[in-house]
Amino acid sequence: MQPKQSEPDVKIKLFHIPAILLLLAGISGLSSCDDSKSCNAPVDSFLGITFHYMIDDEREADTTLPALTMYGIGREDSLLALNQPVNSVFVPLKQTADTTRFYLQTDSTSHGGDTITVMYKRSLHFISPGCGFSTNYTLDSVHFTRHYIDSVWINRPDITTSNVENLKLYF
């Protein structure tokens, strides 16, 4: 009879298992790292408003308001324009509500001004790991007073980071 050969001992000692798991997790974590955590893309979406007047029933012209004062209603400390001549403005919308209201006075010599109420839907848009998310908006409707404003036209309802003309205000 031949003596039995002993099989080699292949047991992994229990204290090696956590070290192996930690090593594997570290390797997979390093391979998925994104070295570019900086953000070079625009992340803010602004409502673009331009100012116009009608020449006749078919023609319009851009106009420069002589001294626009504009702020968000409920945020009077948030001046968006103060006695500046402008032909367009880009203003932020509330990210936590579906309505934003603005007050605008078209001329420093005029008494009173107009209010604009903008109603919209919000959606988050992922930009990148370094930049995070931006809020995009889709305009539903615009209400306004008619002290100086004659009419409002929604030119482009989608408000993204591209900063384009969304509203035309006619005086």
Kindly write down the DSSP assignment for every residue of the chain, as one continuous string.
Answer: -PPPPPPP--PPPTTHHHHHHHHHHHHHHHHT--S-----S----EEEEEEEEESSSS-EEE--EEEEEEEETTEEEEEEEEEEEESEEEEE--SS-SEEEEEEES-TTSSS-EEEEEEEEEEEEEEETTTEEEEEEEEEEEEE--SS--EEEES--EE-TT----EEEE-
Q: How many angstroms separate the CA atoms of 29 and 72, rounded? A: 45
Cα gap 122→53, rounded to integer Å: 30
Residue 104: per-residue pLDDT = 94
Region of 27 (left: φ > 0; alpha: ψ -120 to 50; beta: rest) is: alpha
Comparing C-alpha atoms, which of 46, 68, 77 is closest to residue 149? 68
pLDDT at 80: 87
Cα gap 31→117, rounded to integer Å: 49
In this prediction, the residues of the chain whose per-residue pLDDT falls under 70 are 1-37
pLDDT of residue 3: 55
Rounded to whole angstroms, how far apart are CA atoms 71 and 110?
A: 16
Report pLDDT for 32: 46
* pTM greater than 0.85 (yes/no): no
